[in-house]
Amino acid sequence: MTHVFPRHTKATLPIATRGEGAYIIDAQGKRYLDGSGGAAVSCLGHSDEDVIGAIKDQLDQLAFAHTGFFTSHPAERLADRLIAHAPGTLDRVYFLSGGSEAVETALKMARQYFVEKGEPSRKHFIARRQSYHGNTLGALAAGGNEWRRAKFNPLLIDVSHIAPVHEYRWREDGESAEDYGLRVANELETEIQRLGAENVIAFIAEPVVGATMGAVPPVPGYFKRIREICDQYGILLILDEVMCGMGRTGTLFACEQDEIAPDIVTIAKGLGAGYQPIGATLCTSEIYDAFVQGSGFFQHGHTYIGHPTACAAADAVLTKLTEGGMVARSAAQGEKLDAALRAAFGEHPNIGDIRGRGMFRGLEIVADRATKAPFDPARALHKQIKGAAFEAGLICYPMGGTIDGQRGDHILLAPPFILSDDQIGELIDKLDTAIRSVL
Ligand code: PLP
């Protein structure tokens, strides 16, 4: 008998009792290789002594102080260090407890920025189809995944959704990657013109799409054109790096590889690496100054913003990622993981695409490689693969996405950056066992 309200009310889950490097161990002693960092969270594995030590030290000093009264050394230090590493002119950090809060904050910050500037007519956000930005109502409205939105649609603010970038699916025959990128980026311009630029607040997108499409990177030039359009029409660019940020793709911020900088960026999962719940919304000095020169008050906030213990944990994580070389390791081990995936599944009749960056990789499952047709959604292949992998002692993150209006399946891999070469082999073997048992 349990009183926990679980995600899946019909499932009985094992009890996780211990973490050891890249493994989670359950109450029966079974070891699971964490091939997806849960949901791209545990970038340093499950027993990093430096991060655990930093949390203990902070608890000995001060567990919590409410930001209505105090700031704290860990929050100040972490903000300074994040800004020192952040792209472009990002200058201020607003701390939250997770990804959805960070996105919700980004949306409200962007809206209030224009209110402070005397442009209250701006009320539209533009996002992309097949995206996920979180589960709170604002973030859910920004997301373009119909399955996640369906039950809540009547409660959601109106957000326009333009096409995502997915070269494997939608680049046309004879079209170069660059031309394809320009074609889809230009949909943003068309939508801004339709709504009237003076009514639009921001465009929000994940640089590398995670949960809904499975580690799909943009094509070269796409985000440069997006940045150009946002600047031309005076709307903000919000990048959601909740999943793909903090070294996951091989650079601290994923957008560094697209050579652009956002006006606002959200980070979360890898920021606390699972040791503490924490997220953050970073913005430029231009946005912050509008608040300073305007009302002087951001009409927002949560009890646990700037939590000192969570900030101390994230500060220790950041040290591991940067000075500790873990971002570089994500890039290096990610290349090896990619090569191993291609060697194992490159010719598989039901794996249509293998893609990603750093330790963020995706496999797309198709019924037919030639037509790229997905399997019948009724088979819920992603669930079968997840179950078979778990049985084999591997945690991976298969999802059913939407492809051209049909449901399709992909597997997302986001292992800890500490993964050894042998553990890459173990991951491939276990994934192969799971895929063979289902397909
Ligand atoms: N944004 C992106 C891109 C995500 O992938 C997620 C979670 O998967 C979120 C936001 C929401 O984060 P959280 O689950 O921490 O609320």
Interatomic CA distance for residues 343 and 92, integer angstroms? 44
> What is the residue whose two structure tokens read 């533009």?
126
Q: What's the average model confidence in pLDDT over 355-379?
A: 94
What is the token pair recorded at 304?
């646990």
CB 204 within 8 A of CB 106: yes
pTM of the model: 0.98
The pLDDT assigned to 432 comes to 98
Q: Whose CA is nearest to atom 15 of ligand 1?
A: 99
Q: Whose CA is nearest to atom 14 of ligand 1?
A: 99
Mean pLDDT of the chain: 96
Indicate the pLDDT class of residue 147, thresholds 50, 70 and 90: confident
> What is the residue whose two structure tokens read 């939250």?
96
207 lines ligand 1 (CB under 6 A): no
Q: H or E stretch including 238?
A: strand 236-240
Question: Which atom of ligand 1 lies nearest, measured to the CA of 209?
Answer: 3
Interatomic CA distance for residues 75 and 58, integer angstroms? 12
Query: Which is nearest to 278 in space by CA: 84, 82, 144?
Result: 82
103 lines ligand 1 (CB under 6 A): yes
Amino acid at 126: I
CA of 132 to the centre of ligand 1 (A): 7
Beta pairing class for 279-284 and 264-267: antiparallel
The pLDDT assigned to 89 comes to 96
Q: What's the average model confidence in pLDDT over 115-141?
A: 97
ipTM exceeds 0.90: yes
268 lines ligand 1 (CB under 6 A): yes
CB 364 within 8 A of CB 214: yes
214 lines ligand 1 (CB under 6 A): no
Indicate the pLDDT class of residue 359, thresholds 50, 70 and 90: very high
CB 297 within 8 A of CB 57: no
Q: Whose CA is nearest to atom 12 of ligand 1?
A: 99
Question: Which atom of ligand 1 lies nearest, measured to the CA of 101?
Answer: 16
What value does the CA radius of gyration of the chain take, rounded to a whole number of Å? 21
Q: What percent of the chain stands above pLDDT 70?
A: 98
The pLDDT assigned to 402 comes to 66
Q: For the chain, which domains are there?
A: 16-47+325-438 (3.90.1150.10), 52-321 (3.40.640.10)
- For 377-434, the pLDDT digits (tens) are 888 899 999 999 999 999 999 898 666 666 689 999 999 999 999 999 999 999 999 9
Give the alpha-carbon dihedral of 168, 173, 178, 180, to 10 degrees.
-70
128 lines ligand 1 (CB under 6 A): no
Instruction: Report how far apart, in Å, the C-alpha atoms of 355 and of each of 91, 217, 255, 312, 315 are.
Output: 32, 8, 17, 34, 31
Question: Which atom of ligand 1 lies nearest, measured to the CA of 98?
Answer: 15
- For 167-182, the pLDDT digits (tens) are 999 999 999 999 999 9
Q: What's the average model confidence in pLDDT over 293-313?
A: 98
CB 22 within 8 A of CB 415: yes
Whether 96 shows a pLDDT value over 90: the answer reads: yes
The pLDDT assigned to 379 comes to 87
Out of 43-47, 147-151, 232-236, 318-322, pick the least confident: 147-151
Instruction: Report how far apart, in Å, the C-alpha atoms of 430 and of each of 205, 322, 344, 384, 427 are.
Output: 33, 31, 11, 14, 5
Q: H or E stretch including 200?
A: strand 200-205
> What is the residue whose two structure tokens read 């598989």?
348
The pLDDT assigned to 378 comes to 85
134 lines ligand 1 (CB under 6 A): yes
